Amino acid sequence: MIIDSRAAGPGSLFVGLKGGHVDGGRFAPQALAAGAWGVLTTTEHAEAARCAVPGALIAAEDPLAATQRLATAWRRALDVQVIGVTGSTGKTSTKDLLQALLSPHRRTVASQANFNTEIGLPLEILTAPADTQVLVLEMAMRGAGQIAELAAIAEPDVGVIVSV
């Protein structure tokens, strides 16, 4: 699952999200032309992509909310222990340390880079392979209620709060 149409290729599902300056759904036809098997975007952009290269067109009123719901469903389908890491500083280092400690013993997947927002966290969950045993997710807060929002998506079994 990708949100940048330039990264589209065979096997990818492109999610067209509306940004501050550009509506990514506009690039649904390009993602299909680049080999994406499908696009998840608004009805308007799915209709526009209908004339593009064949592919699955999934329309949602709110593609981000749909992606978040898919992530929660995938998290529930996995037989996985989820560890959520949050705090003011040290999240990435703690997440990386947990991955290093757990990986020799269990199939562990951790957030890449800083995919720790309402957009990145669901993408991380959705890219976890079916055989994942531990999922270590970084959760960032940029405003009130964001950790609750991320926790509702990831449903962590263990919470780690570092420096606040």
What confidence tens digit (pLDDT) does each residue in 77-133 have? 998 999 999 999 999 999 999 999 999 999 999 988 778 999 999 999 999 999 999
In the chain, % of residues over pLDDT 90: 85
My answer on whether 43 and 82 are in the same domain is no
pLDDT band at 52 (very low <50, low <70, confident <90, very high): low
Distance of alpha carbon 35 from alpha carbon 12, whole angstroms? 8
pLDDT at residue 49, as a whole number: 84
Range 12-34 average pLDDT? 94
* Residue 38, domain extent: 5-61
My answer on whether 86 and 129 are in the same domain is yes
pLDDT band at 73 (very low <50, low <70, confident <90, very high): very high
Domain count, the chain: 2
Average pLDDT taken over every residue of the chain? 94
My answer on whether 55 and 74 are in the same domain is no
51 vs 70: which has the higher pLDDT: 70
164 vs 132: which has the higher pLDDT: 132
Whether the pLDDT of residue 12 is over 70: the answer is yes
pLDDT band at 55 (very low <50, low <70, confident <90, very high): confident
Which two three-digit tokens encode residue 3?
Answer: 């949100």
My answer on whether 135 and 91 are in the same domain is yes
Is residue 156 packed enough to be buried (19+ CB in 10 Å), middle (13-18) or exposed (0-12)?
buried
My answer on whether 120 and 151 are in the same domain is yes
My answer on whether 12 and 32 are in the same domain is yes
Range 17-33 average pLDDT? 93
Residue type, 140: A
